[in-house]
Amino acid sequence: MLMRGNFFKGLVLLLTIAMGVTVVFAEARGVKKKRALPHEYGNVVMNNLSDKNNIAPVVFNHWLHRGLYTCRLCHVDLAFAMQANGTAVKEDDNRKGFYCGACHNEHEAFGWVGKNKEGVEVKKCDRCHSYGKKVVFEKDFYKFTADLPHERFGNGIDWERAENDGKLKLKDYLEGISIKRKPLAIPPDTQVKAQVSDMPDIVFSHKKHAVWSGCELCHPDIFGVKKGSSVYSMEEIFSGKYCGLCHDKVAFPNIDCQRCHTKAV
């Protein structure tokens, strides 16, 4: 009986070690992550200070904001960092009219406090600080996007086509914050040579990107202004640099290769 007990203890130990090695091996090789559902794609949980102050973190839904405003307006004029939680927004900043507070002021969009139908003042904290809560939002993703053209990945929406077809009217200017500027001449499409044999070349459209991002969002912080000054690889894009700052996070994901690699071999 003692020998049998030792045998089983040894077997359990070997299995435990084997499982540990398997987990480490899997982590080393990498495994595919769960693909976000359409209404979740691009969402950012803002939690620099919420947990520390015993408040539910903010869930920022890109799909709604990108359906109303340009990316440039938030990331240039309002100075939101391109990395999640990179701005470290504080509630006091918002109440002074910075960051989210530039719009969420009961004029452009709902504020942190307002009045209900009966005229009674109510706080609206849950509309942003919604992580882990069952909050019924004013706009539902599937109703909001029902009439928009569909795509395969990401949100499942072809946002570019929706804007081009006039189904979305993007706001790109906030009074008192944005600078009135004359539009620049849009450079022609640029062909980027694919480095993999038989892979179609990339055709980059400045016109398509300028509608959403303007020029300032990409140049000069992400890409150099002079042609050929930025040298990068697909590995860097997959790791979230250059094009990967937007694609795989908010814009359509990198698995949709044919959206970029469009020039036939």
Q: Pick from 241, 246, 200: which is nearest to 71 by CA?
A: 246
Q: Where are the domains of the chain?
A: 31-180, 182-265
Reported as a single tens digit per residue, the pLDDT across 122-165 is 889 999 999 999 999 999 999 999 999 999 999 999 999 999 99
Residue 33: other Cβ atoms inside 10 A: 6
Where residue 97 falls (left for φ over 0; alpha for ψ -120 to 50; beta otherwise) is: left
Question: Which CATH fold topology does 31-180 show?
Answer: Cytochrome C3 (3.90.10)
d(C-alpha 95, C-alpha 207), whole Å: 36
- Upstream peptide bond of 188 is cis (omega within 30 degrees of 0): no
Architecture of the CATH domain 182-265: Alpha-Beta Complex (3.90)
Query: Which phi and psi (to 5°) does residue 115 adopt?
Result: -120, 145
Q: What is the pTM of this model?
A: 0.82
d(C-alpha 71, C-alpha 217), whole Å: 8
Reported as a single tens digit per residue, the pLDDT across 189-218 is 999 888 888 899 999 999 999 999 999 999
Q: What is each CA distance from 121 to 89, 110, 111, 116, in whole angstroms?
A: 25, 13, 12, 7
